[in-house]
Structure 1
Amino acid sequence: MTSPSDDKRSRLAELLRGKTRPSLRVAASSGQERMWLQERLSPGNAALHMAVTVRISGQLDPVALSRAFQAVVDRHDALRTTFPEHEGRPLQHVAPDLKLSISEVDLGNLPEPLREPEALRHVREDVRVPFDLERGPLLRAVRYRLAADDHLLLLTVHHIVSDGWSMGVLVREVAELYQAFTSGQAPTLKPLPLQYADFAAWQRQGAQGDALDAQLAYWRQRLDPHAVLELPSDRPRLASLDVQGARYSIVLPPALTQALKELGLREGRTLFSVLLAAFNVLLQRYSGQDDLAVGTPVAGRSRSELESLIGLFVNTLVLRSDLSGDPSFRELMGQVHDSALGAFAHQDVPFEKLVEVLQPSRRLNVSPLFQVMFVLQNAPVALPPVPGVRMEAHPVDVGAARFDLTLVASEEARGLRLIAEYRTALFDEATVARMLGHLRSLLQAVVLDAGQRVSVLPLMDEAEQRQVLLDWNDTRVDLSSTATLPELIQAQVERTPDAVALAFEGRTLTYRELDARANQMAHALIARGVGPEVRVGLLLERSLELVVALLATLKAGGAYVPFDPCLVYTS
C-alpha cells in the first residue's frame, strides 16, 4: 500500500519525465491566484514588489552583466510569465522568449557626496513603479553608475512570480553567469529539472483526496477563523486597506543573543520558539487577548527538485498560542514549540486553501486568519567570488507593509537584529520603537529566569520605569505667583494673541478672540450687578461658550457656580 507522500513523489516524477508537462497557458497556482487578487484589489500595491540591490565594486563589464541577466530570464519560465484573465481567474502564460535589458542611470556627473543619496532616492522610486500582470514583464533591472568602479544593481520582481528564496536564486545565478562570461568559460549551472508551471500543476493535483482532508482536519481543529487580534494603534483602522509601511530596527547585543540560544538549548527548544514565545507575551500585554494567532512563512520547497527554481513557492502557516491561565515562560515556549511542529507537519495545505475552507470573517481592511507575522530570517545571500569585482546583495525596503505588524529576526555579526515592519496608517515610529524596547526587556528577563509567569515579566527598562513612575508623576506646581487666572490669561494674550487658545468640535478661538469675548460678557455682568461675593450660575453644555462665561465671571469679580444640564429639570 502506498502512502500519500509516495503518491506525491510519483506525480512529481511524472512531471520530471515530461509525461504531464503543462502547456504554455495553464492555471495559476493557489499562491499566484491570491497575489493576482490582491493586485486587483489594490493596483500597484508596492507590498507585492520584491527587490534586492547588488553593490558591485570594481571594474564592471556591462555587456557580460546584461548577458548574465538575460540568461537567467531565458532559464526560468517564471520570469517570462504573465497572467491573462480567463473566466474571472488568472492563467499563467509563459512566453517562449523575452528580451530584457538592464536600464542604466549614470550618476557619475554629480558631486561624489551626492551620488549615493541620489541612487538611493532612485531606488525608492523605482521599486514602487507598478507592474502590469497581464502584459508584463514582471521583472525589472536598473544599474546605477556611481563611478567607473562603483555600481548599484536593482532587481525588482512582482511577488506573483517570486519569493524570498527566489530572489537569492536570481542574484546568485546572475553572479555565477557573469563570472563565466567574463572569464570566457561555459556556464556551469545545472539544467533545471522542471519549471514553475510544472509545480503549479502538481500542487493542484495534490490539493484533493484523503491526504488533503487529513491536513485540513488538523487546521479546522487548530484555528479559530473569526479571531482578530486587536492591537491598540495610534489611529483608527481605515475602512479601506492602506499598505503604506515603514521599518524600525534594534540590535540585541551578542551576549543577549548568545544567552537566548543557550536558553533554547537548555530547554530543548529552537531560537524560533524562544523569540516567538516572547513576541506572543508582548502581543498579549498590548492587546489584553490570551488567544493569539501569528503568521509565519515557510519556503514551500520540501523537495530538492524545487530548490533551484524561481517562482512563488512560499506558504504561510498560522501558529496559535493560548496564554490563558498565566503560564510560565518555559511552559509557553513548549506550547509554541509544539504548535510550530504541528504546523510544519501540515504545511502542504496552501494558505489560500485554508482561507477558502475555514471561511473567516472577511474585511477588506483586515488580513484573514492573522494580522501579525513573525519571521526568523536565514543568513543573507552569499554570492560566489567573482574575479575583478566584489558583489554584495541587500534586500530593499519598498515602503509598504503586507500586515499590520511583522517582526523579522535576523542574525548579524553585531548580534540579533529585530526589524519591525508596520503600517504607518496605524502606528507611529515612536510606538513601534517602544514595542521593540519592551520586547528587548522581555528577552533580557527570560534569559535570567524562564520559570517566571508571563504576567510578571517586565516590559519597561529602568529608564522608562523612572519616567513613568517618577518624572511623569512629579506634579508639583510653583504657586508663589500672586497673579489671578484672568491676569495670567491676559499676559498670554499679550505674548501670543493669534495662537489658538481653545478648540472644540472643529471650532477654535485665539487668545485675542477669547479675551475680547470674555471682556464683552464681563461688562454685561458688571452692568447687572456682578462683583465680589456675587455668585453667577452657569447652565451650559461643554463648549467654547462655557469657557468664555467662566473667564468673564472671574473678570467681573464674581464666582461661578456650574450646573449640570443633565441634572436640571423644569416643572
Structure 2
Amino acid sequence: MSDALATRLAALTPEQRARLRAALPGARPDTGEPTPGQLRLWQVHHQVDGRPVDVVCQAVRLTGAPVDLDLLAERVRGFTAAHEALRTTFATSADGTVRRVVHPELPPRVTRVRCADEAEAHAVALRLAAEPFDLAGGPLLRVALAEGPAPDRAWVLVAVHNLVFDAWSFELLLDELARETGPAAAPRPFGAFVRDQADWLRGPEGRAGAAYWAAETAAAPAPLPTDRPRAEPARRDGARIAFTLPASVADAVAASAQREAATAYAGWLAVAWAALAEFGGTEDVLLGTFTTGRNRQGTDTVVGYLLNVLPVRLRDAGTGTHRDRVRAARTAIRAGLRHASYPGELIDADRRVPGTHPLFDAVFVFDNLGADERRVQGAQVTTADLDKGTARFDLTLAVYPGPDGVAGWLEFDTALYDEATVRRLAERFTALAHIAAQEAEQ
C-alpha cells in the first residue's frame, strides 16, 4: 500500500470506512423489501425534502451519580452491531424500487460534547436531528454523549431516523445502556420480522385484517376542520402546545376505566374523543393510534420500525358520559386488537388526507413505556421527547402518564392551524379530563 493511499484511508471517518468495506469484494450486504411502514416513511422523507418529520429526537438526562461515557459509547456501538436495523440503509434502483440494504458494519455516529445546562443539551440534540439524513449512505443513528457542569450530570442525546427505530427500540437502547454485567441477549433480526409480516399478510389472518379495516373505515367522517386549506406537498412545519394534569385527575381517569374492565389508554382515548367530537362537530371520529407491532412471539427484542398506525373509529357515545365513552372505546379497541398486525398503510379506504399518511389527519398517542424508574450506572434516567419544529400529522395529541400526573402536548401543522385554535383545543381536553375525573369520583 502506498503512503498516499494509507494517508487517505486513515483520514476516512468511521462511516466512510464502513461504506468502503461494504463495497469491497466479499462484503455482501443483505437486501430486501421494506415494510409498508418503512416505504411510507421513505416517501415522506423525500416529500418534505429531508426535514426531520420522522426523526426520533430524545434527550436522556443522567443525574445523581457520575457515569462512564466511554462505556456508554461502547454500548451504543455494540447495540448497533447487534441490531441489523441500525446497520441498514435504503437504496433506490433505476425504476424507483426501494430496497433495504443491511451492511455487515455501519458504525453509528457517536460524538462527545460538553454542555453547561439542560437547554444547551437539548440544543445539541435538536441540531443532530435537523441535519439531513442520507438514507442511502447512512448511518441513521447519531448519538452525542454530553458531559455536564458537574461530575454527576450528563446527557445521552439521540437522533435516529424512524425508518430504523421506534419508541420500543428506544426502550431497548436504554435497557442496553443500563445493563450491568454479562452479555446482552441475542436479538431477533428485523429481517425475520419483515419475512413473517409478508407471510402473515398472504395468509387467512392477513385477509381477515384487510376486510375488517376496510369495513371499519367505510363511510368515514371528513377530516377535522382547519384554519387554512390542506395542500400537497406539505412542508410539515409544526409546533406544540404543552399541558399537564395532576395525579388526582390521572388516577381518577385510570380508575374509571378499570371499573369498566378497560385500560387507562381507553380512559384517555375517551377524553380525546369527547374533545375532538366537539371540535369537529360530530360524534363520529376517526383517529389514528399507534400500536407497537410486537404482538408476535420474539418481536419484543427486535429493534427497528415495527410501529403501526391504525384507525380507531369512535361513533356511539351513548348518553355522552365519560363512562359510556369508555365502554365504546373499550369495544372498539378490543375489536381492532384482533387485527393489529395489519399495516395501516395497506388499508383500503375511500378517505384520503393530503399529507404524510393517506388515512389520518389526527392521531392519539398514549405512551407509558417509560413510566418505570430506570438507572444507568447508578444515575437516575430522565427522558425528554424534544419538539423538532415539525408535525407528523395535522394534529397529534400525546398523553404521557407518570407518578406525578400526566404530561402531554398537542402538536399541530402550523400551515393548517393557528396557535390560538390549538390552545383552545388543548384547554378543552384538559377541562374534559377534569370533568371525567369528577364523574368517576361521584
| TM-score band w.r.t. shorter chain | 0.7 to 0.9
Which residue of the partner structure matches residue 330 of structure 1? 323
State the Cα distance separating 1:23 from its structure 2 match. 7.4
> Is 1:381–1:393's contact at 8 Å kept on the other side of the alignment?
no
Which residue of the partner structure matches residue 254 of structure 1? 247
387 and 134 in structure 1: CA distance in 2 versus 1, 3 angstrom threshold: closer
**Structure-to-structure mapping, 1:451-462, within 5 angstroms:** none
Distance 1:325 1:385 in 2: 45
State the Cα distance separating 1:142 from its structure 2 match. 1.4
Residue among 123, 126, 138 paired with 1:124: 126
Q: Does 1:43 align with 2:43?
A: no
Distance 2:68 2:261 in 1: 50
Identify the structure with bigger relative contact order (alpha carbons < 8 Å, sequence gap 6+): 2
- Counterpart of 1:302, as a letter, is N
Which residue of the partner structure matches residue 392 of structure 1? 382
Distance 1:259 1:97 in 2: 50
Q: Does 1:70 align with 2:77?
A: yes
Distance 2:356 2:43 in 1: 15
- Counterpart of 2:235, as a letter, is D
Which residue of the partner structure matches residue 548 of structure 1? none
Which residue of the partner structure matches residue 273 of structure 2? 280
89 and 267 in structure 1: CA distance in 2 versus 1, 3 angstrom threshold: same
- Counterpart of 1:171, as a letter, is L
State the Cα distance separating 1:304 from its structure 2 match. 3.9
State the Cα distance separating 1:213 from its structure 2 match. 1.7
- Counterpart of 2:40, as a letter, is R
Q: Does 1:199 align with 2:202?
A: no
3-state SS, counterpart of residue 134 of structure 2? coil
Distance 1:273 1:238 in 2: 33
- Higher mean C-alpha deviation, range 256-265 or range 160-169: 256-265
- Counterpart of 2:429, as a letter, is L
Q: Does 1:433 align with 2:423?
A: yes
> Is 1:54–1:154's contact at 8 Å kept on the other side of the alignment?
yes
Q: Does 1:104 align with 2:101?
A: no
Which residue of the partner structure matches residue 211 of structure 2? 217
- Counterpart of 1:188, as a letter, is P
Could you list the per-position Cα deviations for residues 238-296 of structure 1 after superposition, in whole angstroms to 9, with x for gaps in the alignment?
44313122222222222222222232233333322222222222212122123210011
Which residue of the partner structure matches residue 188 of structure 1? 183
> Is 2:111–2:145's contact at 8 Å kept on the other side of the alignment?
yes
> Is 2:178–2:377's contact at 8 Å kept on the other side of the alignment?
no
189 and 236 in structure 1: CA distance in 2 versus 1, 3 angstrom threshold: same
Unaligned runs of 5+ in 2: 1-27
361 and 88 in structure 1: CA distance in 2 versus 1, 3 angstrom threshold: farther
> Is 2:368–2:402's contact at 8 Å kept on the other side of the alignment?
no
Q: Does 1:29 align with 2:11?
A: no
Could you list the per-position Cα deviations for residues 403-433 of structure 1 after superposition, in whole angstroms to 9, with x for gaps in the alignment?
1111111112221223212222223333322
Distance 1:445 1:74 in 2: 50
Q: Does 1:91 align with 2:99?
A: yes
> Is 1:293–1:369's contact at 8 Å kept on the other side of the alignment?
no
- Higher mean C-alpha deviation, range 431-440 or range 340-349: 431-440
Q: Which has the larger radius of gyration?
A: 1
3-state SS, counterpart of residue 148 of structure 2? strand
> Is 1:103–1:142's contact at 8 Å kept on the other side of the alignment?
yes
Residue among 377, 402, 414 paired with 1:424: 414
> Is 2:107–2:139's contact at 8 Å kept on the other side of the alignment?
no
3-state SS, counterpart of residue 298 of structure 2? helix
Which residue of the partner structure matches residue 3 of structure 2? none
Which residue of the partner structure matches residue 527 of structure 1? none
Distance 1:102 1:387 in 2: 19
225 and 36 in structure 1: CA distance in 2 versus 1, 3 angstrom threshold: farther
Distance 2:373 2:183 in 1: 15
- Counterpart of 1:444, as a letter, is H
State the Cα distance separating 1:382 from its structure 2 match. 5.3
Distance 1:412 1:382 in 2: 8
Distance 2:282 2:38 in 1: 33
53 and 324 in structure 1: CA distance in 2 versus 1, 3 angstrom threshold: closer
State the Cα distance separating 1:386 from its structure 2 match. 4.2
Provide the TM-score with structure 2 as the length reference.
0.85
148 and 330 in structure 1: CA distance in 2 versus 1, 3 angstrom threshold: closer
Distance 1:106 1:75 in 2: 28
Distance 1:245 1:159 in 2: 18
> Is 1:232–1:286's contact at 8 Å kept on the other side of the alignment?
no
- Counterpart of 2:142, as a letter, is R
State the Cα distance separating 1:209 from its structure 2 match. 3.2
> Is 1:274–1:333's contact at 8 Å kept on the other side of the alignment?
yes
3-state SS, counterpart of residue 261 of structure 1? helix
Q: Does 1:229 align with 2:223?
A: yes
Which residue of the partner structure matches residue 271 of structure 1? 264
Distance 1:30 1:221 in 2: 20
Distance 1:219 1:363 in 2: 17
- Counterpart of 1:271, as a letter, is A
> Is 2:243–2:407's contact at 8 Å kept on the other side of the alignment?
yes
3-state SS, counterpart of residue 204 of structure 2? helix
**Structure-to-structure mapping, 1:264-413, within 5 angstroms:** 264-323=257-316, 327-354=320-347, 357-358=348-349, 360-362=350-352, 364-365=354-355, 367-380=357-370, 385-387=375-377, 389-413=379-403
- Higher mean C-alpha deviation, range 84-93 or range 321-330: 321-330
Could you list the per-position Cα deviations for residues 168-207 of structure 1 after superposition, in whole angstroms to 9, with x for gaps in the alignment?
111221332xx44xxxxxx331222x30011111211221
304 and 260 in structure 1: CA distance in 2 versus 1, 3 angstrom threshold: same
- Higher mean C-alpha deviation, range 429-438 or range 387-396: 387-396
| Percentage of matched positions with identical amino acids | 28
> Is 2:318–2:324's contact at 8 Å kept on the other side of the alignment?
no
Residue among 63, 67, 86 paired with 1:79: 86
Kindly report the root-mean-square deviation, in angstroms, between the aligned alpha carbons of the 2 structures: 2.7
Which residue of the partner structure matches residue 9 of structure 2? none
> Is 2:345–2:358's contact at 8 Å kept on the other side of the alignment?
no
Which residue of the partner structure matches residue 139 of structure 1? 141
Distance 1:387 1:286 in 2: 47
State the Cα distance separating 1:227 from its structure 2 match. 3.8
Which residue of the partner structure matches residue 208 of structure 1? 202
Distance 2:311 2:355 in 1: 19
- Counterpart of 1:231, as a letter, is P
226 and 379 in structure 1: CA distance in 2 versus 1, 3 angstrom threshold: closer
State the Cα distance separating 1:302 from its structure 2 match. 1.0
> Is 2:143–2:159's contact at 8 Å kept on the other side of the alignment?
yes
Residue among 168, 173, 177 paired with 2:176: 173
3-state SS, counterpart of residue 83 of structure 1? strand
- Higher mean C-alpha deviation, range 78-87 or range 220-229: 220-229
> Is 1:175–1:383's contact at 8 Å kept on the other side of the alignment?
no
